[in-house]
Amino acid sequence: MAKWVYSFGDGKAEGRADMRNLLGGKGANLAEMSSLGLPVPPGFTITTEVCTYFYDNKKTYPAELTDEVEKALAEVEKVVGTQFGDAANPLLVSVRSGARASMPGMMDTVLNLGLNDKTVLGLAKSSGDERFAWDSYRRFIQMYSNVVLDVGHHYFEEALEIKKEDLGVSMDTDLKADDWRAVVAEYKKLVEKRTGRPFPQEPREQLWGAVGAVFESWMNQRAITYRRLHSIPESWGTAVNVQAMVFGNMGEDCATGVAFTRDPSTGTNLFYGEYLVNAQGEDVVAGIRTPQHLTVQGKLAQKSDAPAMEEVMPEVFKQLDSVRQRLEQHYRDMQDIEFTVQRGKLYMLQTRNGKRTAKAALKIAVDMVHEGLIDKREAVARIVPASLDQLLHPTLDPKAARKVIAKGLPASPGAASGKVVFSADDAEQQARAGEKVILVRRETSPEDIHGMHAAEGILTSTGGMTSHAAVVARGMGKPCVAGAGDVRIDGKAGTLSVRGTVVKAGETITLDGGTGEIMLGVVPTVQPELSGDFAQLMEWADEFRKLGIRTNAETPTDAAQARKFGAEGIGLCRTEHMFFDGDRIVAVRQMILADDEKSRRVALAKIQPMQRQDFVELFEIMAGLPVTIRLLDPPLHEFLPKTAEEMEVVAKDLGVDVKEIEERANKLHEFNPMLGHRGVRLGISYPEIYEMQARAIFEAVAEVQKKAGKTVVPEIMIPLVATKKELDLMKVVIDQVAEEVSTASGQKLEYLVGTMIELPRAALRAGDIAESAEFFSFGTNDLTQTTFGLSRDDSASFLEKYQQRGIFEHDPFASLDTEGVGELIEIATERGRKVRNSLKLGICGEHGGDPASVFFCHKAGLDYVSCSPYRVPIARLAAAQAALGGPLKTE
């Protein structure tokens, strides 16, 4: 029989840390901490299977659930010594979500549940603090009404502001017990007015209302957006954790806080966190008050005047530091912990693997290997390959002039420049239009998730290093400056101002998330130095991976950059990209406008020495590593001018009448050029083009071999082949040119001739094609287009809808469709190798840098993947993880 509820607390638990799929991350870790004997308030977890049942059965619950919840609640009452709903000595609980993957702030929480008009009096008596009891009740009404009854927060905030104005006070702390009692009465009236029903007084009705709301929140818009951004399946569902309340807001000997066992921005092994005296848990993360530092070291580093917890609560801090060390030793990973201090006693409310920047992830993994906590395999498996992207892009130039207008907390490292926007919707809209934007808010909330994703960086005027903005930005790899207290933000007027300097919406600022600096205008950037922890982890990754990693490059700059990143050759050199430079395009256009072969050859003779020099440079940079050169692929009309103005310029350059260019452009125009006169079809129609390119390649090989005294083996690739005969005809041209150049130069030339597999027919007839081809390179961009019948350029308008409706799990142009396109790759691999055992196989589409696609390529038995230079380290790490059986999930 299914078990729907698992209890924890009082030094024991029914669950364990490895049950996160069933109990969610929060529930599994609460159970684990209880079993470790840590001070965890008792409670119980309603499993993720109940969430699945809830959505599969018209939002109803399993028949046994009520009884299991009642039994678990009775156990909590027994441990705490209070009764749920008892007027004299009430048990109050929190109700929190907890999916198996951390989704900070994306789903709903209710605190102080169980309070009503009677139990509030019991809480006042048992706590000896009437003000605290009524403050807790008004917080509960506001939170419950927002989460369960769908009454907006702002109604309550407005009512509270009016009350404070009437009393002539500005701070919540100025309100007395009777004032909060009056606020509660106002809140209850407000709820009845907005919902047409009185605020629920029955604690069990409150409990089931909150449980239902948490399950409902799994499908709220912000949770859906977060899941899409982080590839979290909808089918996982969330658990619900019901836990006895402990209070951080009973007085000056109470506190609440969030901490990381190491610095989540840098990875340094220092206790890092924040706390608020006399506050409830959500206050720290919500970013409404700027919290204080846990440690004296943290306080000094941020030049803060507020006392550290280490100073004001030394005994509790000592205990917390001991828990920190114990948890990290136990989980063998950096932990993100939440705690509350109630009247001098420490309680642990959560632990989870902490979200961290890529830089911190590398440092923590490498340090933990040196500390003996984990081994090299685990260190490599822990790093999210895509997160390395954060480290590979430019940072602010330390020598550049910068006009700093304010400084906040360095909440998430990295640098970003962009136009100021004041709402998440504006950020998303302008980013879609191609603008780089910085999202500026007083504080961010989970509703802002879409705007945070769209923005280059995030700036908030309140909140700390553990606020929502900071945690989410670190998880996304976005620069964030938080708690910039000197910045005044007026979203309605569209301005941010700092001591007389006013920045309007649409004006540009630069953020440095590593220093907390906010600067006017754009500050120049420099390439990062990739050494230390990065180099060490990459070295370990290379020990494990089986796949070769090449790069897609045609310029010396890209090729040199890719080599620095560890590329083992060029997997795709697109020769047409070399045609667009200055003088060359004129010669290319002459070739296209030529009426006969003789005129074409004259124009091609001008292009050949330029192409030869390009290849010389690439071969020299690659120093004997393989270089795969794709012969001309795009249709000829792409090289012709499009507008009347451009046509006039070209006519003048070529000394021809503009009508001649118009006529030739019209003649070359195609209704569907992607499937038109391109690739090998051009080579068949105009063999002199491929002949010129082959000559340029072989002459470059001869020159470099002569100079370096080392053999260079180019891999010449024919694009868009559908039949063996096409390849055979081109091979004859290439072989003949090779023989001519070899004779003329006196150099022995070694080379391979192969093909792109980018048409379904080529994949299915791979056995035939392999009789002539010495290698296959899967061009997955076009193979995806031709398999799905989708145009990459036109499908963006509906692909997002397809993902939302669950037709596609991922964009098939970003992450390989392993079922359809993948099956064609597997068929071609099997049939090709059956005919030619030594057949070299690679992939050179954009998918070559996508970790999930790299995993597939490893499984399919390919020899290498090729990707853009900046994705080479990502592919190296993904290939190592594929060899180790997949990544380990940290946060």
Please report, for the domain that includes residue 298, its CATH number: 3.30.470.20
Position of tokens 């364990």? 16
Worst-scoring range by mean pLDDT, 5-14, 650-659, 696-705? 650-659
846-855: per-residue pLDDT in tens?
799 899 999 9
Backbone φ and ψ of 859, nearest 5°: -65, -35
Q: Last residue of some domain: 296, 331, 356?
A: 356
Residue 371 domain-assigned?
no
Contact 780, 816 (CB under 8 A): yes
Co-location of 240 and 300 in the same domain: no
Domain extent for 152: 5-244
Query: Residue 539's CB: how many other CB atoms inside 10 A?
Result: 12
Q: How confident is the model at residue 286 (pLDDT cuts 50, 70, 90)?
A: low
Instruction: Give the pLDDT confidence score for residue 288 in this predicted structure.
Output: 60
pLDDT band of residue 13 (cuts 50, 70, 90) is very high
- Residue-level pLDDT at 531: 75
| Residue 370 appears among annotated catalytic residues | no
> Are 22 and 84 in a shared domain?
yes
* Of the candidate ranges 38-42, 342-346, 354-358, the one whose mean pLDDT is the lowest: 354-358
Q: Which residue has the higher pLDDT, 479 or 172?
A: 479
> What is the reported pTM?
0.79
| Residue 381 in domain | no
* Residue 512 DSSP SS3: strand
Q: 287 or 137: whose pLDDT is higher?
A: 137
Q: Centre a 10 Å sphere on the Cβ of residue 392 and count the other Cβ atoms it contains.
A: 19
Residues pairing with 498 in the sheet: 501
Q: Is residue 662 part of a domain?
A: no
| Mean pLDDT, residues 802-817 | 88
CB–CB of 820/792 below 8 Å? no
Q: What is the CATH number of the domain that holds 786?
A: 3.20.20.60
Nearest to 363 by CA among 457, 270, 299: 270
Other CB atoms within 10 Å distance of the CB of residue 425: 12
The chain-wide mean pLDDT, for the chain, equals 92
Measured distance CA(438)–CA(585) in Å, rounded: 39
Full DSSP string of 829-888: HHHHHHH-TT-EEEE-SGGGG-HHHHHHHHHHT-SEEEE-GGGHHHHHHHHHHHHTTS--
Q: Which is more confident, 188 or 655?
A: 188
Q: Please give the distance of CA 291 from its chain centroid, rounded to a whole number.
A: 27
Q: Which of 149-153, 154-158, 195-199, 665-669 has the lowest mean pLDDT?
A: 665-669
Verify that 413 and 351 share a domain, yes or no: no
Q: Token pair 């029955």 is at which residue?
A: 202
Residues 759 and 810 in one domain: yes
CA distances from 291 to 285, 409, 464 (A): 9, 11, 6
Closest to 191 measured CA to CA, from 148, 133, 130: 148
More confident residue, 664 or 77: 77
- Look at the alpha carbons of 137, 139, 140, 142 in this order and tell me if their dihedral is positive or negative: positive
Q: Same structural domain for residues 211 and 291?
A: no
Q: Is 499 exposed, middle or buried (0-12, 13-18, 19+ CB in 10 A)?
A: exposed
Q: Report whether pLDDT(481) > 90.
A: yes
Residue 665 confidence (pLDDT):
80
pLDDT tens digit string along 512-535? Answer: 988 899 999 999 988 777 779 999
- Among residues 293, 468, 637, 858, which one is catalytic? 468
173: pLDDT confidence band, cut at 50, 70 and 90?
Answer: confident
pLDDT score of 869 more than 60:
yes
Whether 254 is a known active-site residue: answer no
Range of lowest pLDDT (89-103, 363-377, 584-598, 827-841) = 584-598
Q: For the domain that residue 419 is a member of, what is the CATH number?
A: 3.50.30.10
What are the tens digits of pLDDT across the range 122-158? Answer: 999 999 999 999 999 999 999 999 999 999 989 998 9
Residues 622, 715: one domain?
yes
Find tokens 């290379």 and name the residue. Answer: 542
Q: Dihedrals φ, ψ of 150, to 5°?
A: 60, 40
Distance between CA atoms of residues 27 and 239, nearest Å: 7
Distances (CA, A) of 265 to 327, 468, 680, 844, 865: 20, 15, 51, 34, 31
Query: Average pLDDT for residues 257-265, to the nearest whole number?
Result: 95
Span 173-178, mean pLDDT? 90
Window from 22-31, 68-77, 601-610, 637-646 with minimum mean pLDDT: 637-646
Q: Which of 573, 844, 857, 867 is catalytic?
A: 844
Given this model, what pLDDT does residue 818 score? 96
Does residue 225 sit in the same domain as residue 260? no
711 and 563 in a single domain? The answer is: yes
- What the block records as the tokens of 83 is 């009764």
Give the DSSP H/E element, type plus range, for residue 555: none
Sheet (strand 345-353) strand order: 292-293, 272-277, 255-260, 335-342, 345-353
Count the Cβ atoms, other than its own, within 10 Å of residue 550: 30
Q: How far apart are CA 124 and CA 64, in angstroms?
A: 36
User: Hey, what are 245's tokens?
Assistant: 């309340």
In a domain, 504, yes or no: yes
Report helix, strand or coil for 642: coil
821 lies in some domain? yes
pLDDT of 593: 80
Q: 405 and 345: one domain? A: no
Q: How far apart are CA 865 and CA 18, in angstroms?
A: 34
In a domain, 532, yes or no: no
Pairing of strands 395-396, 570-574: unpaired
Q: How far apart are CA 382 and CA 365, in angstroms?
A: 7
Q: Which residues contact 572 (CB under 8 A, 6 or more apart)?
A: 550, 552, 553, 628, 630, 717, 777, 844, 866
* Rounded distance between C-alpha atoms, residue 716 and residue 890, angstroms: 42
Contacts 24+ apart (CB under 8 A), 133-136: 133/177, 134/177, 134/180, 134/181, 134/183, 134/184, 135/175, 135/180, 135/249, 136/92, 136/112, 136/247, 136/249
- The residue with tokens 């569209």 is 494
Q: Which residue has the higher pLDDT, 801 or 528?
A: 801
- Residue 712: per-residue pLDDT: 95
**H-run or E-run covering 571:** strand 570-574
What pairing do the DSSP bridges indicate for beta strands 840-843 and 12-13?
unpaired
Any domain includes 511: yes
What confidence category does residue 93 fall into, taking pLDDT thresholds of 50, 70 and 90? very high
Per-residue pLDDT tens over the stretch 400-434: 899 999 999 888 878 999 999 999 999 999 999 99
Residue that is last in its domain, among 331, 356, 381: 356
- C-alpha span between 18 and 858 (Å, rounded): 28
Comparing CA positions, the residue from 489, 484, 655, 517 lying closest to residue 586 is: 655
Residues 186 and 281 in one domain: no
891 with 102: CB under 8 angstroms?
Answer: yes
**What does the block give as tokens for 102?**
């951390």
Number of domains in the chain: 4
Co-location of 477 and 598 in the same domain: no
Domain boundary among 244, 272, 307: 244
Any residues with CB less than 8 A from the CB of 209 and at least 6 apart, and which?
Answer: 144, 148, 149, 200
In a domain, 789, yes or no: yes
Q: What is the CATH number of the domain that holds 9?
A: 3.30.1490.20
Residues 684 and 770 in one domain: yes
